[in-house]
Amino acid sequence: MPNTSTDLIILDSQDNVATLCRTLKSGTKALADHGYVDLRQTVPGGHKVSLKPVASGGKLIKYGQIIGFAKTNIEPGEWVHTHNVELKEVSRDYNYCEKPSDLPKLECEQNTFSGYARPGGRVGTRNYLGVISSVNCSASVARYVADHFRFTDLKGNFPNVDGVVAFTHKGGCSYDPKHGHEVLQRVIAGMARHPNIGGYVLVGLGCEVNQVPSLVEKYELDLLKDGEQPPLFLTIQQTGGVRKTVESAVKAIEKMLPTVNDQKRTSQSVSKLTLAMNCGGSDANSGITANPALGIASDELVRQGAASVFGETTEIYGAEHLLTCRAITREVGEKLVSQVRWWEKHTAMFGSTIDNNPSPGNKEGGLTTIFEKSLGAVAKAGKAPLSAVYDYAEPIESRGLCFMDTPGNDPVSMTGLISGGCNVGVFTTGRGSVYGCKPSPCIKVATNTPMYNWMEEDMDINAGKILEGTESVADVGRRIYDKILAVAGGEKTKSEQVGMGDEEFAPWMLGPTL
């Protein structure tokens, strides 16, 4: 936990930079654990100052790790940011399968939640009906079907149904079948089988690359387990046009509603949870407050047999060596490294680099380089062993801490995690993301109190109390854990209360458009 009785936060004894708790003016004597630092400029809160002289080309250390290199000589008390920091290639020592840390028990009162038991042992935290488009050409039809139920008294007539959601996208045709096609099919199949979906209709156009019959055959969507709601597969061309397809889909949903409504919540083990973890709109406090606290909650879920999954490969870059040493097998660690190498090659094809990050908002919040951002991002992975590494939208079958290869783009990343089977999400943010991700509820954790107070209608938990010294990282971690179980059991998140989540479904589109 940072020492909040000081002005500066030093995260590791090897660090030669510190983070300001608040904005301080030039000439201020900023208090740190080891003494005072005279500020040479006015420095915004969340940004860094040098603790020691750093010669041009010298390493800048935060979290005990390299976050960049000095462009010029940097004096103690000098603002350290994009104007005087650059990145260079850094070799990483990938030590595989070192002995992982023991996971301490978090003092929690609850180890069950109220969920929907599904066939095959899956458990839902929500009970939606889905209208899934196979191609963008059927997106409007899917939307018309969902909108039909938006303007009816669905909750009054079917109180156990959370809604009818249209899952639409911009793909499905005119692309290389060897790349984006396979990924999109995994996403669609994952949503069709998602434990938070009680029934669904799949709608195509009829002539697209992503053919509905081949999708159904490949993923055996027509083979049902006992108790599963039979889906309906439609194409606009075969059904006879837009009106007839909408009418057929509406009738199918109406037929499903009573059976789906008959589903009741029952007591379920925490082990049935699969958590999606993401950070977006990050700031320098993300790696100090919200992400470490989420790591505490994640470790407790893992300790109780749940799965906790994080992604954003481009935002663990420069910190992946901290994960490979926790891999349960060498193969798991090597798969993670191979995904990082793929990204290096992929970005190079377009004249870009994997370290072309952080975003303008991240930088304004004090994050200077992708290494710094990544070191803060991996804090949400806690201390648990890395049990499995998945490709984008692969079904998540392992328990424990898992990683999924996703882009850093938040909607695309979360779509992959949810399609993989995550039935609840936690999203940390320092700048104020308002992300929602139907069909899974998404808990928002603010990294700092000013943003939480300003956007309280959208934030579920304030981790900024860690900076204020009123709560510890473990305290907030316990609150996140309790909130996960409460939300999994039906409590509405702030994003659900305002209706967020209908437009954020965004499958990763890979390969050329032909």
Check residue 501 and give its pLDDT.
92
Assigned domain for 254 exists: yes
On whether both 137 and 161 belong to a single domain, the answer is: yes
The conformational region for residue 251 under phi > 0 = left, psi -120 to 50 = alpha, else beta, is alpha
Helix (H, G, I), strand (E, B) or coil at 202: strand
Assigned domain for 227 exists: yes
The conformational region for residue 172 under phi > 0 = left, psi -120 to 50 = alpha, else beta, is left
Check residue 447 and give its pLDDT.
96
Helix (H, G, I), strand (E, B) or coil at 182: helix
> Confidence band (pLDDT; 50, 70, 90) for 183?
very high
DSSP symbols for 461-493: EETTHHHHTSS-HHHHHHHHHHHHHHHHTTPPP
Residue 368 clears pLDDT 90, i.e. is over it: no
Question: The domain spanning residue 253 has which CATH number?
Answer: 3.40.50
Assigned domain for 472 exists: no
**What distance in Å separates the CA atoms of residue 33 and residue 46, rounded to the nearest whole number?**
17
On whether both 131 and 71 belong to a single domain, the answer is: no
Question: The domain spanning residue 56 has which CATH number?
Answer: 2.30.130.110
On whether both 256 and 341 belong to a single domain, the answer is: no
> Confidence band (pLDDT; 50, 70, 90) for 364?
confident
Question: Of 442, 460, 478, which residue is a domain's last?
Answer: 460
Helix H segments across 194-326?
Answer: 212-218, 236-239, 242-261, 290-303, 321-324
Judged by average pLDDT, the poorest of 4-8, 9-13, 278-282, 325-329 is 4-8
Assigned domain for 495 exists: no
> Confidence band (pLDDT; 50, 70, 90) for 228?
confident
Q: Which two tokens stand for residue 235?
A: 């194409």
Check residue 153 and give its pLDDT.
86
- CB neighbours of residue 332 within 10 Å: 22
Assigned domain for 508 exists: no
How many domains does the chain fold into?
A: 3
Task: Give the bridge partners for 386, in sequence order.
Answer: 327, 401
On whether both 121 and 252 belong to a single domain, the answer is: yes
| Measured CA distances, 108 to 93, 268, 302, 310, 399 (Å) | 37, 16, 14, 23, 20
Q: How far apart are the first and last CA of the chain?
A: 52
**What distance in Å separates the CA atoms of residue 48 and residue 461, rounded to the nearest whole number?**
25
Check residue 360 and give its pLDDT.
81
Residue 99 clears pLDDT 80, i.e. is over it: no
- In 3D, which of 125, 461, 448 has the Cα closest to residue 297? 461
**What would the pLDDT profile of 26-74 be if each residue is shown by its tens digit?**
999 988 777 789 999 999 989 999 999 999 999 999 999 999 999 999 9
The mean pLDDT value for 476-488 works out to 97
Which residue in this structure is represented by tokens 């300001």? 20
Check residue 423 and give its pLDDT.
98
Task: Give the bridge partners for 132, in sequence order.
Answer: 167, 202
Judged by average pLDDT, the poorest of 175-184, 236-245, 428-437 is 175-184
On whether both 259 and 206 belong to a single domain, the answer is: yes
Assigned domain for 182 exists: yes
CB 247 within 8 A of CB 139: no
- In 3D, which of 19, 90, 178 has the Cα closest to residue 354? 90
On whether both 300 and 200 belong to a single domain, the answer is: no
**What would the pLDDT profile of 375-385 be if each residue is shown by its tens digit?**
999 999 999 99
- φ, ψ at 426 (rounded to 5°): -125, 130
Residue 398 clears pLDDT 60, i.e. is over it: yes
Question: Of 430, 460, 490, which residue is a domain's last?
Answer: 460
CB 170 within 8 A of CB 156: no
The mean pLDDT value for 309-337 works out to 94
> Which value, in Å, is the radius of gyration of the alpha carbons in the chain?
24
On whether both 334 and 435 belong to a single domain, the answer is: yes
Which residue in this structure is represented by tokens 């998945």? 390
**What distance in Å separates the CA atoms of residue 361 and residue 283, rounded to the nearest whole number?**
8
Check residue 357 and give its pLDDT.
61
Its sign, for the CA torsion 263, 264, 269, 272, is positive
The mean pLDDT value for 167-182 works out to 87
**What distance in Å separates the CA atoms of residue 175 and residue 362, rounded to the nearest whole number?**
33
Question: Of 266, 293, 320, which residue is a domain's last?
Answer: 266
Q: Which two tokens stand for residue 47?
A: 């940004």
On whether both 59 and 160 belong to a single domain, the answer is: no
> Confidence band (pLDDT; 50, 70, 90) for 257?
very high
> Confidence band (pLDDT; 50, 70, 90) for 369?
confident
Beta-sheet pairing, 48-50 with 17-20: antiparallel
Residue 67: which residues within 8 A CB-CB, separation 6 or more? 17, 60, 61, 85, 368, 369, 371, 372, 375
Residue 484 clears pLDDT 90, i.e. is over it: yes
**What would the pLDDT profile of 100-158 be if each residue is shown by its tens digit?**
677 878 877 789 999 999 999 999 999 999 999 999 999 999 999 999 998 888 989 99
Assigned domain for 245 exists: yes
Stretch (H or E) spanning 374: helix 370-377
Residue 4 clears pLDDT 60, i.e. is over it: no
Check residue 2 and give its pLDDT.
52
Residue 3 clears pLDDT 70, i.e. is over it: no
On whether both 256 and 278 belong to a single domain, the answer is: no
**What distance in Å separates the CA atoms of residue 156 and residue 149, rounded to the nearest whole number?**
12
- φ, ψ at 52 (rounded to 5°): -140, 165
The CA-based angle 92-94-98, given to 5 degrees, is 140
Helix (H, G, I), strand (E, B) or coil at 21: coil
Check residue 356 and give its pLDDT.
61
Q: Which two tokens stand for residue 44?
A: 């915004």
- CB neighbours of residue 25 within 10 Å: 9
- In 3D, which of 362, 377, 267 has the Cα closest to residue 312? 377
Q: Which domain holds residue 156?
A: 115-266
Which residue in this structure is represented by tokens 């009970």? 127
On whether both 245 and 281 belong to a single domain, the answer is: no
Residue 491: which residues within 8 A CB-CB, separation 6 or more? 483
On whether both 282 and 163 belong to a single domain, the answer is: no
Check residue 110 and give its pLDDT.
84
Check residue 92 and give its pLDDT.
79
Check residue 5 and give its pLDDT.
53
* Burial of 116 from C-beta contacts in 10 A (0-12 / 13-18 / 19+): buried
* Burial of 264 from C-beta contacts in 10 A (0-12 / 13-18 / 19+): exposed
On whether both 317 and 450 belong to a single domain, the answer is: yes
Assigned domain for 101 exists: no
- Of residues 177 and 313, more confidently modeled: 313
